Amino acid sequence: MCKDVLIEQFEAELTLTRAVLTEVPSDDLAWKPHPASFSIGRLAMHVGSIPGWIPAFTDADSYDMGAGGPGPSIPSSKDEVIDKFADMSARGRASLAAVTDASLTTPWLLLRDGDVIARMTRAEAISRYVVRHLVHHRGQLTVYLRLRDCVVPAVYGDSADRRLLPLTTMEHEA
């Protein structure tokens, strides 16, 4: 996968993700669909943070999941989520802009407590653990939105809610 293709995929998913994050209800950030689930606010913060993970793949030869961390923070407002997403998107863009096609083909390892879990190229790692991971959790977030009676934006096609909203300028031009 060349850098330009990866950047194109990343940017497309960022646009769709921003549309979903803007629908997160500020007054309901603690809501959970199940006791074992993240709250909607924490899931939104996780989604907003994922684009900033790209340096873990471009700046190092491996990542050890055993190192752990606190996980996503619980936001106090939707604006905090949107700000985090903007910062992490800029961080991801900067890392992708700096990487070369040649470096994207070099090996990268996912570890857990020093044991190899997966081997792949940096490009595949970014595609799998940033782009596809973002898509996965954004999908979860759209289910949360539906369960809270919030607008679910059209992502890869139509949305029942989208059919009820006016067309955007871009759709008129198409």
**Domain chopping of the chain, boundaries:** 3-173
What are the φ/ψ torsions at residue 117 (nearest 5 degrees)? -95, -40
Report the residue count for the chain. Answer: 174
The architecture CATH gives domain 3-173: Up-down Bundle (1.20)
120 touches 137 (CB < 8 A) = no
Its pTM surpasses 0.75: yes
Per-residue pLDDT of the chain in tens (174 residues, 90 and over written 9): 589 999 999 999 999 999 999 999 999 899 999 999 999 999 999 999 999 999 999 999 999 988 777 778 789 999 999 999 999 999 999 999 999 999 999 999 999 999 999 999 999 999 999 999 999 999 999 999 999 999 899 898 887 776 665 555 444 444
Distance separating alpha carbons of residues 106 and 84, to the nearest angstrom? 30
Which letter does DSSP use for residue 53 in this model? G
